[in-house]
Chains A and B, each alone.
Chain A
Amino acid sequence: MDDWLVAIIKVVGIWVWVLLIAVVMTWVERRGAGLIQDRPGPNRAGPWGLFQPLADGIKLFTKEEIIPTKAQKFLYIIGPALFSLPAFSAYAVVPFGDKIILGGKEIILQVSDVNIGFLYILAIGSMAVYGVILGGWGSTNKYSILGGLRSTAQMVSYEVALGLALLAVVFVYGTFSLRDMSLAQQGTFLGFLPNWGIFKQPLGFILFIVAAYAEANRVPFDLPEAESEIVSGYHTEYGSMRLGLYLFGEYVNLVTISGVIVALYFGSWHLPYIDLGAYLGPISWGIVSFCIFFLKVSFFLWLFVWVRWTLPRFRYDQVMGLGWRGLIPLALFNIFITALFIQLTV
């Protein structure tokens, strides 16, 4: 019974937390864009404009829902749902802290530590493309279809690079569980570097982050919704909360991706050179590890924003070229090097 309760609390808690971050991210994105571009950004609603996402949410919820006459109703409606569902469920296997001991019971700060967590993320992550393509197709709009097709092609191509980049990480840690990987990153590497994934897999990290940007449809890979070319891509015809689901889903994806990056490459909840867990009590270490983890996550969330407002956008064929001819060979090379290294050292 207790296990069930804990699981439910964890599920609900992390769901609310991720949603909250996603909501705040919309504000951070706009505010950050503003500050990068020499303007304040939304600063009217509440202190520093913090209630802006709330206002946006209310607006999206209260707007009239319009289904275009010629839209394929079922696909049109199911599109956003299919997009946001995997986004929310993907976080289930990503840790958000070490562990906490409450009432003599050890609770790991992760919704579920499945031993194939890794594959789960890949599988669930690739589900999102259905939401995009169905939304694009169901809208019966040429721009939407173009956006949906672009998105599909892009996601499918970069899935390969993403998977290959991750495979090298699996080689390094010898496990599929994200928690085990996180735990393995304690201590130092070669005596002077933190034992973080990025130092063992520098190339793999770059490949992963590029592929992840493409997976999340972020600039410079935001062709599916390239505003100046195909209006809004797959969500051109969407309004009200359906649009909101797409937008929130995107930010939730960002949170998940950042979580994965931190868990795999940036030492999860570990600080470099210092093992706080040894000094702190079980409860406080649980909280502190959570904080450390999310500080790291928020840096990567900010990186998404930062990159977005710095770069121009790729062209469709260039994205494909980069994916198939740049990232995938590099990822294979990375796997080869990693395997060789492991073979030689072990």
Chain B
Amino acid sequence: MNQNLTPQTGHGTGDYVTVNIGPSHPAMHGTLRVIALTDGESLIKAEPEIGYLHRGVEKLGENLSYHQFIPITDRLNYCSAIPNNVSYEMAVEKLMGLEVPEKAQLIRVIMMELARIADHQVCVGILGVDLGAFTPFFYLIIQREEIYEIFEWFNGARLTNTFGRIGGVDADLPDDFEERWNELKPNVRKANEETEKLLTHNRIWMDRTIGVSAFSAEDALNWGFTGPCLRACGVKRDLRKDEPYCMYDKFDFEVPVGKNGDVFDRYIVRMIEMEQSIKIIDQAYKLYKEMPADAPLMARVPKVIKPPAGEVYSALESPNGELGFFIKSDGSANPYRIRIRPPCYMIYQAFPELVKGELIADLVACLSSLNVIAGELDR
């Protein structure tokens, strides 16, 4: 109904205003900055500027030992530290040719899927906050805290987990995991349902999200999209299915796919993925319970982690998309070069394309639906 009213770009008098959004702005999660050229409310151009959270993680990695780099990976995507840890560990394991015990892989799957739920919850919640719906954020964030509780009882940290070690995991699941999970599962589902009730069919929400920053599948692939943002565009690509790691091929789950690649589809894809994650955790825990209690959780790691010289790239499906680590080793105890391929880095570079011709309010919606995490973006 309101499409025709959207001011078309470029029809103005040329009196454009440059609006600087960020790095300190309520809608910029972390320290992002967008320099927007606007004609009234509509955007002529929006150019993101990044680097405000650049901490030189890649340089740091070259100066730390393989083991010491694990806590640094926590600080990449601070919304879901565990997939970051595991991705890095998988890369090193690949470099060393280590076989991770199955039970450890299951624990990793369980924890990663929990982290995925937590991450999606934050993303959806923040999307709601940015579009003015404050309440779903709280319903979701409460459940995220409960997930963090599981993390805390697993190895003692809530946010920066330092999960796992090279070759396995550092702890077994807490004894009361099943109890906690059974308690948590309906709550997560309930929170998601409530969010859907408050948002999905609400006309205001639909108007705000449907068709906003829509992106075609070809463009998305060309720009290097991965993860929910790519799936929202209609490309059925999920590393968990396509390049199974950590026994993901043993689980039965669906990969939700959107159609238009707009904010609404990204939101829906994330909502469905949470449900699928719950399914995966259930299956993984079932498999986990079938394992003997004293099944190994660590591979035999050499005393000093000194992988042979070589270069590998290993990626996994983090909540945001393909999170890859390229490690070049020269055979010494420190990695020679670590390259992190953050998912939102590739997505965010298409931001000017995504918001072209939209309104300022859509810029915010688009940004939060991409789930850009500054820590991961700038490294």
CB–CB under 8 A between A and B in the complex?
yes
Chain A residues near B (Cβ < 8 Å): 33, 36-39, 142-143, 146, 149-150, 219-220, 222-223, 226-231, 309-318, 320-322, 325
Instruction: Choose one: A37, A313, A317; the contact of B204 (CB below 8 Å).
Output: A313
**Bound-complex Cα distance A229 to B198 (A):** 21
* A231, B25: Cβ atoms closer than 8 Å: yes
**Bound-complex Cα distance A322 to B204 (A):** 11
Stretch at the interface among B2-10, B155-163, B328-336: B2-10
Chain B: minimal CB distance from A162 (Å): 20
Does B177 have its Cβ within 8 Å of any Cβ on chain A? no
B142: nearest residue on chain A (CB-CB)?
A38
Q: Which residues of B contact A318 (CB under 8 A)?
A: 2, 5, 204, 207-208
* B41, A312: Cβ atoms closer than 8 Å: no
Chain B: minimal CB distance from A59 (Å): 20
**Bound-complex Cα distance A231 to B22 (A):** 10
**Bound-complex Cα distance A309 to B20 (A):** 29
* A316, B41: Cβ atoms closer than 8 Å: yes
* A316, B208: Cβ atoms closer than 8 Å: no
* A142, B142: Cβ atoms closer than 8 Å: no
* B5, A320: Cβ atoms closer than 8 Å: yes
Q: Which residues of B contact A313 (CB under 8 A)?
A: 131-133, 204, 208, 361
- Most chain A beta carbons < 10 A, residue from B7, B40, B132: B132
Give the A-B pair count, Cβ closer than 8 A.
96
Q: Which residues of A contact B26 (CB under 8 A)?
A: 227-228, 231
Chain B: minimal CB distance from A150 (Å): 8
* A321, B1: Cβ atoms closer than 8 Å: yes
Pick 5 A–B contacts, CB within 8 A, sort by A: A149-B40, A150-B41, A312-B132, A312-B204, A314-B207
Chain B residues near A (Cβ < 8 Å): 1-2, 5-7, 17, 19-20, 25-27, 40-41, 128-135, 138-139, 142, 198-199, 202, 204-205, 207-208, 359-364
Instruction: Choose one: A231, A311, A316, A322; the contact of B361 (CB below 8 Å).
Output: A316
Chain A: minimal CB distance from B135 (Å): 5
* B132, A222: Cβ atoms closer than 8 Å: yes
* A228, B41: Cβ atoms closer than 8 Å: no
B360: nearest residue on chain A (CB-CB)?
A229
* A325, B1: Cβ atoms closer than 8 Å: yes
* B138, A38: Cβ atoms closer than 8 Å: yes
Instruction: Choose one: A39, A146, A312; the contact of B128 (CB below 8 Å).
Output: A312
Q: Which residues of A contact B359 (CB under 8 A)?
A: 315-317
**Bound-complex Cα distance A320 to B5 (A):** 8
A317-B5, A317-B6 are known contacts. Are A230 and B132 too (CB-CB below 8 A)? no
**Bound-complex Cα distance A228 to B205 (A):** 15
B207: nearest residue on chain A (CB-CB)?
A318
Q: 8 tightest CB-CB pairs across the interface, nearest first? A: A313-B132, A312-B133, A37-B138, A321-B2, A228-B27, A228-B130, A317-B5, A312-B131
Q: Which residues of B contact A314 (CB under 8 A)?
A: 204, 207-208
Q: Which residues of B contact A33 (CB under 8 A)?
A: 134
* B41, A226: Cβ atoms closer than 8 Å: no
A38-B142, A312-B128, A313-B204 are known contacts. Are A146 and B360 too (CB-CB below 8 A)? yes
Q: Which residues of B contact A230 (CB under 8 A)?
A: 360
**Bound-complex Cα distance A287 to B5 (A):** 51
**Bound-complex Cα distance A231 to B21 (A):** 9
A39: nearest residue on chain B (CB-CB)?
B138
Chain A: minimal CB distance from B145 (Å): 11
Q: Which residues of A contact B360 (CB under 8 A)?
A: 146, 229-230
Q: Which residues of B contact A229 (CB under 8 A)?
A: 27, 130, 360-361, 363-364
- Most chain B beta carbons < 10 A, residue from A226, A228, A312: A312
- Most chain B beta carbons < 10 A, residue from A310, A316, A322: A316
Chain B: minimal CB distance from A245 (Å): 22
Chain B: minimal CB distance from A44 (Å): 19
Instruction: Choose one: B1, B135, B198, B362; the contact of A315 (CB below 8 Å).
Output: B362
Q: Which residues of A contact B5 (CB under 8 A)?
A: 317-318, 320-321
A229-B360, A315-B359 are known contacts. Are A310 and B135 too (CB-CB below 8 A)? yes
Q: Which residues of A contact B208 (CB under 8 A)?
A: 312-315, 318
**Bound-complex Cα distance A219 to B135 (A):** 13
A230: nearest residue on chain B (CB-CB)?
B360
In addition to A311-B133, A312-B208, 19 A-B residue pairs with Cβ atoms within 8 Å of each other are A37-B139, A38-B142, A143-B19, A149-B40, A150-B41, A222-B132, A228-B132, A228-B364, A229-B360, A229-B361, A229-B364, A230-B360, A312-B199, A313-B132, A313-B361, A317-B359, A318-B5, A321-B1, A322-B2
Q: Which residues of B contact A312 (CB under 8 A)?
A: 128, 131-133, 199, 202, 204-205, 208
* A311, B207: Cβ atoms closer than 8 Å: no
* A36, B135: Cβ atoms closer than 8 Å: yes
**Bound-complex Cα distance A112 to B34 (A):** 52
Chain B: minimal CB distance from A127 (Å): 25
- Most chain A beta carbons < 10 A, residue from B5, B199, B361: B361
**Bound-complex Cα distance A142 to B19 (A):** 7
Q: Which residues of A contact B364 (CB under 8 A)?
A: 228-229
**Bound-complex Cα distance A142 to B27 (A):** 16
* A311, B132: Cβ atoms closer than 8 Å: yes
Chain A: minimal CB distance from B198 (Å): 7
A220: nearest residue on chain B (CB-CB)?
B204
* B361, A309: Cβ atoms closer than 8 Å: no
**Bound-complex Cα distance A150 to B205 (A):** 20
Chain B: minimal CB distance from A84 (Å): 25
Q: Which residues of B contact A220 (CB under 8 A)?
A: 132, 204
A321: nearest residue on chain B (CB-CB)?
B2
Chain B: minimal CB distance from A156 (Å): 16
Q: Which residues of B contact A219 (CB under 8 A)?
A: 132
Chain A: minimal CB distance from B212 (Å): 9
Q: Which residues of A contact B204 (CB under 8 A)?
A: 220, 311-314, 318
B199: nearest residue on chain A (CB-CB)?
A312
**Bound-complex Cα distance A229 to B131 (A):** 9
- Most chain B beta carbons < 10 A, residue from A219, A228, A317, A322: A228
